[in-house]
């Protein structure tokens, strides 16, 4: 009988051997094994850490190791067969998770242990406390009929969220622009033209074939002289998976979104919360719906006047009204004229291999770790590579995969995810392993991939998440790395890391002209630094639009209908967005962070965590960017703690005081107290 690589491989995933047909049998077998193991755990009598929590953590850890490669491949190497297998697994996972968290005997055992155990450390107490919270949030206290309903809601939600993401992926893959007249493409960067020629040849076309991926979209909106081309790309992007645009209705997420919100609202109400937002805040730093709304309103009051002034200036520069598909084009020209710098002038200095090497050097100087590629590790694509991480003494701390470039059938955006979580429960250590994924333009035929500085910042962001996962010293998976960290704090290490990409001490490490090797010249660095705050207000209100729409949608979810959501989005944009809204604007239909990912009622987390990140980085500015004592304090108080320690407590231990928004407002050019 053929082995199943998802089950019969104790090491890293054997990606080249995993087929779609392996997924469901492996998952079903692991779930059955976990159920049997749970029966054994509950038969052990009086619960203790060793007889209850440790084996429970162990069995959940094994399940994650089986499922992680399947979920990852579905995101980076999607196919019809894999999609079917993935969707067949979702109900099994949802059923198991709800069944586990509604298990009254297991809940009572944890509850008894919480009341009677002595001598446990901080991390162990956090594991138990979080488990009890999660039991209650999964409906362990509900009467039988409501438990059944809650389970059904969770099952339907899992399926709908997967469908939402599939619709976005399919809609994006379906749209291309074929051009035979090079004049239509005037202004576009040469590397994009070269890729588009190759894409056309691969499809048997003459001319150029432009795909609807994020790097291409950004280049078109920023550089294409042809206004109709900018319009068409913008419309195709903001109408993906909707009832408008070039594929109107074909992959329409309207009813999917409404149903997701309806079900989330019902889940919250079943558990006694007023709405899903209130339910979600039970695991967050923010204490209430009102606190989040006040926080966002504070940023609105600071950010909107700044954004409005920036928009008026842009229209004056353009000589008239500016539509949404014109903003990036004129903004890039204004930035170039004002600061004498453009992304295309900077790209040659940021070849991806040099940026990666410099990023790893930054981590070495901060935390004493060495990062080296391991070409012997199996990966899922030729673009992907594996890196091992060693500490100062040469001991392995973990590893991570890197997959940087966009391609068809790969989910858009950038993210870090867990392959293996750190575990040390007395039967051997599992070291943490991460996936670091981006969607940058791939290398050309004769040159490496060249990154914009914004893409460099994005890579630093995802590497911040990766370090948070890898450098944990916590041995219990449910609170190791990013696990157990409140969702509105989990972005803090990533946003903190972004700041290093702007520093004079770091730029020579991450830059080098791809032909000459010359580091970024001082004059370009000064211009880049001068442009850092360019259109900071417009960037802020863009995030506030998403955050307010998401949060209010989950507070005001009844009735959840397409018309209600469209009206809500229009209302939010009217409050914060100075850029005109075209009638076809349907950006919520591809808002995967919220409707398919983990940011439901939590997109505000980016701004919430940015306050923590800016204030934390201010300590490095005060004490030295590579000050070893400062870095060691950040490592021990934040990165190594995972979810084992209260985030605010850890921040105060690092900073010596509670967080302040002053550093964040300063980064946007807004004086403190204004």
Distance CA 568, CA 571 (A): 5
- The C-alpha R_g of the chain, in whole angstroms, comes to 25
pLDDT in tens, 57-75: 999 999 999 999 999 999 9
Query: Does the pLDDT value for residue 259 go beyond 70?
Result: yes
Q: Is residue 62 part of a domain?
A: yes
Contact 663, 618 (CB under 8 A): yes
Residue-level pLDDT at 343: 86
Distance CA 663, CA 612 (A): 9
Distance CA 165, CA 170 (A): 9
Q: Taking all residues of the chain, what is their mean pLDDT, rounded to a whole number?
A: 95
| pTM for this prediction | 0.93
Distance CA 485, CA 647 (A): 7
Mean pLDDT of the 15-29 span: 97
Q: Is residue 631 part of a domain?
A: no
Pick from 183, 189, 174: nearest CA to 444: 189
Query: Does the pLDDT value for residue 202 go beyond 60?
Result: yes
Distance CA 379, CA 114 (A): 42
CATH code: domain of residue 86: 1.20.1050.40
Cα distances from 267 to residues 99, 102, 617, in angstroms, run: 15, 14, 38
Q: Is residue 83 part of a domain?
A: yes
Q: Is residue 374 part of a domain?
A: yes
Domain boundary pick from 512, 530, 548: 530
User: Residue 380's domain spans which residues?
Assistant: 347-530
Whether residue 178 is preceded by a cis peptide bond, meaning omega within 30 degrees of 0, is no
Q: Is residue 313 part of a domain?
A: no
Query: Does the pLDDT value for residue 561 go beyond 70?
Result: no
Q: Is residue 375 part of a domain?
A: yes
pLDDT in tens, 342-396: 888 999 999 999 999 999 999 999 999 999 999 999 999 999 999 999 999 999 9
For the chain, what is the domain count? 2
Domain boundary pick from 482, 502, 530: 530
Angle, CA 497 vertex, CA 401 and CA 526 arms, to 5°: 120
Query: Does the pLDDT value for residue 1 go beyond 50?
Result: no
Active-site position among 235, 344, 462, 610: 462
CATH code: domain of residue 485: 1.10.1370.40
Per-residue confidence at 664, pLDDT binned at 50, 70, 90?
confident
Query: Does the pLDDT value for residue 558 go beyond 70?
Result: no
Q: Is residue 387 part of a domain?
A: yes
610 in active site: no
pLDDT in tens, 134-165: 999 999 999 999 999 999 999 999 999 999 99
Per-residue confidence at 671, pLDDT binned at 50, 70, 90?
low
Cβ count near 377 (within 10 Å): 18
Q: Is residue 614 part of a domain?
A: no
pLDDT in tens, 588-621: 999 999 999 899 999 999 999 999 999 999 999 9
Domain boundary pick from 530, 547, 571: 530
């Amino acid at each position: 009988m053929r082995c199943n690589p998802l089950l019969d491989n104790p090491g890293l995933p054997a990606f080249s051997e995993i087929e779609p047909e392996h997924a469901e049998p492996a998952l079903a077998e692991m779930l059955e094994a976990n159920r049997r193991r749970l029966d054994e755990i509950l038969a052990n009598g009086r619960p203790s850490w060793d007889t209850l929590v440790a084996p429970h953590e162990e069995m959940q850890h094994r399940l994650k190791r089986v499922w992680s490669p399947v979920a990852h491949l579905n995101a980076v190497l999607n196919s019809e067969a894999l999609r079917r297998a993935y969707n067949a697994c979702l109900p099994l996972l949802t059923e198991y998770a709800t069944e586990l968290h509604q298990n009254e005997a297991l809940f009572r055992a944890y509850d008894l242990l919480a009341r009677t155990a002595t001598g446990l450390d901080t991390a162990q107490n956090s594991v138990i406390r979080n488990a009890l919270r999660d039991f209650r949030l999964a409906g362990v206290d509900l009467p039988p009929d409501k438990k059944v309903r809650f389970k059904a809601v969770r099952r339907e939600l899992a399926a709908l969220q997967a469908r939402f993401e599939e619709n976005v992926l399919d809609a994006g893959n379906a749209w291309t622009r074929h051009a035979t007249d090079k004049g239509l493409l005037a202004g576009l960067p040469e590397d994009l033209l070269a890729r588009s020629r190759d894409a056309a040849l691969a499809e048997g076309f003459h001319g150029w074939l432009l795909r609807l991926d994020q790097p291409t979209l950004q280049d078109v909106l920023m550089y294409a002289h042809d206004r109709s081309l900018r319009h068409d790309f913008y419309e195709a992007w903001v109408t993906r998976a909707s009832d408008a645009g070039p594929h109107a209705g074909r992959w329409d997420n309207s009813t999917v979104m409404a149903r997701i919100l309806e079900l989330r609202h019902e889940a919250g109400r079943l558990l006694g919360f007023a709405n899903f937002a209130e339910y979600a805040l039970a695991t967050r730093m923010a204490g209430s719906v009102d606190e989040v709304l006040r926080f966002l309103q504070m940023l609105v009051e600071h950010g909107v006047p700044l954004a409005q002034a920036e928009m008026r200036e842009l229209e004056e520069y353009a000589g008239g009204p500016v539509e949404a598909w014109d903003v990036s084009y004129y903004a890039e020209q204004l930035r170039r004229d004002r600061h004498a710098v453009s992304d295309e002038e900077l790209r040659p200095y940021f070849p991806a291999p040099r940026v990666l090497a410099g990023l790893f050097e930054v981590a070495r100087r901060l935390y004493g770790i060495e990062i080296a590629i391991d070409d012997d590790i199996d990966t899922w694509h030729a673009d992907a590579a594996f890196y091992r991480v060693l500490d100062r003494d040469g001991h392995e701390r973990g590893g991570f995969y890197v997959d940087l470039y966009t391609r068809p059938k790969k989910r858009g955006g950038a993210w870090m995810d867990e392959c293996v979580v750190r575990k040390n429960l007395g039967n051997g250590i599992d070291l943490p392993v991460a996936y670091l994924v981006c969607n940058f333009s791939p290398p050309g035929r004769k040159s490496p991939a060249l990154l914009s500085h914004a893409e460099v910042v994005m890579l630093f962001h995802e590497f911040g998440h990766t370090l948070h996962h890898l450098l944990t010293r916590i041995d219990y998976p449910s609170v190791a790395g990013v696990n157990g960290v409140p969702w509105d704090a989990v972005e803090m290490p990533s946003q903190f890391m972004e700041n290093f990409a702007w520093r004079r001490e770091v730029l020579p490490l991450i830059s080098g002209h791809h032909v000459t090797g010359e580091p970024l010249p001082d004059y370009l660095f000064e211009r880049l630094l001068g442009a850092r705050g360019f259109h900071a207000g417009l960037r802020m209100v863009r995030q506030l639009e998403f955050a307010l729409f998401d949060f209010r949608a989950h507070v005001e979810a009844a009735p959840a209908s397409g018309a209600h959501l469209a009206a809500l989005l229009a209302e939010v944009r009217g409050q914060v967005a100075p850029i005109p809204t075209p009638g076809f604007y349907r950006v919520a239909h591809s808002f995967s962070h919220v409707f398919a990912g983990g940011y439901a009622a939590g997109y505000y987390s980016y701004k919430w965590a940015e306050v923590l990140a800016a204030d934390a980085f201010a300590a490095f500015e005060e004490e030295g960017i590579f000050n070893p004592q400062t870095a060691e304090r950040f490592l021990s108080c934040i990165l190594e703690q995972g979810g084992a320690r209260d985030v605010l407590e850890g921040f105060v231990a690092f900073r010596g005081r509670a967080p302040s928004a002053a550093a964040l407002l300063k980064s946007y050019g807004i004086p403190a107290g204004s």
